Structure 1
Amino acid sequence: MTEVMNVKQLTMEDYPALTKMDTGIEDDYVVRIFDRLVQSDMHELFGLFQSDQMLAIGGYSLFGDGKFAMLGRLRSDRRFQTKGNATELLKPIMERLKMNRRVNWIGANTHLGNLPARRVLEKLGIEQGPVIHYLILTRPDLLSGHTPGSIWEPVHDLKKKYRLLTQLNKNELGTFPYECYYPLPFDYSLFTDEYLNDSSFYESPERSRFIIIKKDTKKYDYSHVKYFWNDHYEQPGFFETLLHHWNNHPDHIGCWIDFSDHGFKNIPELTAYDVQDPWILYGTWKTNRI
């Protein structure tokens, strides 16, 4: 008789079951920070079990005072991957989020070429969104084709930072890159005083463009660049401003830049970057959107 599978929220007591999974991921950060994830108010982790065997793990992170839920950290034991376990795990997690009145949007970010994950998200009713390219500028000496210019003017006033964001009338990214790997809908709830104070803003001389750069840590420290247009190489001083900021933060290993699909195609030469395979954002608004 086949044993019944069940989904439960994970605690530290489930750590041994996690370490016994065969995910094929070397130095998995979920294993390294498992204690922080299961004890956090911002993150939740769940496991799909058959008896004492953990077949899959996944969860979500909350942003914008709980308004946005990003699914992620999905791993399956390779010995059981063909059994639809990812869908079985995510179904009750989706129901949990739908019942949470604070959550207005549910999304997930995955590689464009990860067709199994994309099929799971579509089965869950999550809609396909924009393609995003994550590039890390690590070799500025190899930059070519950009327009040189002076360093843009830093913006220190908190009210002006907020005004620049709220008066933005065009966003060619289609998202707000809140963190590395975490693009979210562009929403004012994300622009808290703490977030803006921790972000460096630079405004172009003619006041038509601005750059946001914020430290983010994904194993390593990065200068995470948020720019909402596709004209990186046309704007005088854009790259000089990035390098100026990076020089002031030498502990950062590079400038992480989110490019839209169009913006990526505008890059004349990629040798200056570490290039990842493209990602695609999925997301759906709940009917109780406010």
Structure 2
Amino acid sequence: MITIRPLTTTDFTLYQQMETGVENDYMLHVYDRLITPPNNYLYGLFKDKILVTVAGYTYFPGGNVMLGRLRSDLRFRKLGYPTQLLHFLVDIIKQDPDVCFIGGYTHIENWPAKKILAHLGLTFIDKYHNFPAINLGPFIVDKTLIWDEVITHSEKRAALQTLMNENIASFVYEAYYPFPFSSCLISDDKFSAMRIFQSPLTQRYLFVDDDYKGEKLLNIRYVHEDIFTTPGLFHTIAELLKHEPDRLPWFNFSKTQYSELKHKDCFRLEEGWELHGVFI
């Protein structure tokens, strides 16, 4: 018999007993947060009272929801349970009138996961590469130019508005969580925390804010193709981190930016990602 229901604190032991094959599973450390509404929901699919598949979703500003946290017990794979559970979740999410976008992301080469996303009606939106830098030195060619910080509320809003004109497919709200960009994606709290810098030469903008994904990060978004040649960008980032040596610069590269990446030994490279989604 198949049963699907929200997971609770009492199910943690059952999750621990799953043979997922995932090394250093971060969900074991943040399980309580993942089951805490109103932003996070985690569901389990049970076969005869055995927890065989787990998946969940998270609410983000602007009516955006991201699917994720998919885990399956190796002993019950290839039986269609992940797709069954995710279909159940998508149906629940679609009942919420405040939701306008449902997303899912996976590694570029994870064809089984992309097949599941296609079954859910989530189509390809964007391809991107994100990972931290461990050495900015080779990219700092001009130590005299620091970009100007945008301070006033109106100027920051105007800077965000320029993203609407760039025709970008997605904007990384926080590390690992990209969404189609809209002004309502950036909540008031996010807007206040985000720092924006403008090049005095090109007038283009750099968007950064603090993040944490198991380690302290500076989440960096620069959407233009001249990321490695525009003067002062990397020096500005280095100056921001000068007094926080334990915070890593987290870069979000578009497909085109990544193709121009040199000095790859200066980064802790990770496999690329794809964002899929559906507007409802």
Give the structure 2 partner of residue 82 of structure 1: 78
Q: Structure 1 stretch 241-250 or stretch 117-126: which is displaced more?
A: 241-250
C-alpha distance 149-117 of structure 1, shift in aligned 2 (>3 A): farther
Unmatched tracts of structure 1, length 5 or more: none
2:250 counterpart residue number = 256
- Could you tell me which residue of structure 1 aligns to residue 103 of structure 2? 107
> Aligned residue for 1:98?
94
**TM (normalized to structure 2)?**
0.95
Q: 2: CA distance between counterparts of 1:22 and 1:124? A: 25
- 8 Å CA contact retained: 1:198, 1:214: yes
Q: How many residues align?
A: 280
Map 1:21-60; keep pairs closer than 5 Å: 21-60=18-57
Could you say what secondary structure the match of 1:161 adopts? Answer: helix
Counterpart residue identity of residue 11, structure 1: T
Distance in 2 separating the partners of 1:122 and 1:17: 29
Deviation at residue 181 of structure 1 after TM alignment: 0.3
Per-residue deviation, residues 243-289 of structure 1 (Å, max 9, x unmatched): 1111133331x211111101111123312111111100001101xxx
**2 CA distance for matches of 1:48 and 1:169?**
40
- The aligned amino acid for 1:182 is Y
2:175 alignment partner in structure 1: 180
Post-superposition offset of 1:24: 1.3
Report the secondary structure of 1:23's partner residue: coil
RMSD: 1.7
Rounded to whole Å, the distance in 2 between the matches of 1:115 and 1:194 is 36
Q: Summarize the Cα distance change of 1:201–1:249 in structure 2 as closer, same or farther, 3 Å threshold.
A: farther
Report what 2:16 is aligned to.
19
Q: How does 1:69-218 map to 2 (within 5 A)?
A: 69-141=65-137, 143-144=138-139, 150-171=145-166, 173-206=168-201, 208-218=203-213
Identity of aligned residues (%): 29
User: Structure 1's 263 and 148: CA in aligned 2 closer, same or farther, altered over 3 A?
Assistant: farther
Distance 2:161 2:243 in 1: 28
- Change in Cα spacing, 1:173 to 1:275, as seen in structure 2 (3 Å) is farther
Matching residue's letter, 2:59: L
- Which structure 2 segments of 5+ residues have no match? none
The residue type equivalent to 1:180 in the other structure is A
Partner of 2:163, secondary structure, is coil
CA distance in 1, matches of 2:187, 2:64: 14
CA distance, structure 2, for counterparts of residue 45 and residue 110 of structure 1: 18
* TM-score (normalizing by structure 1): 0.92
In 1, the alpha carbon distance for the partners of 2:230 and 2:179 equals 25
Contact 1:147-1:235 within 8 A present in 2 as well: no
Offset of residue 216 of structure 1: 0.6
Deviation per CA, 1:172-225: give whole Å up to 9, x if none: 652111000000110111223311211121111035211111111000010110
| d(CA) in 2 for partners of 1:26, 1:268 | 30
1:228 matches 2:234: no
Native 8 Å contact 1:155 1:202 kept in 2: yes
Q: In 2, Cα distance between the equivalents of 1:183 and 1:230?
A: 18
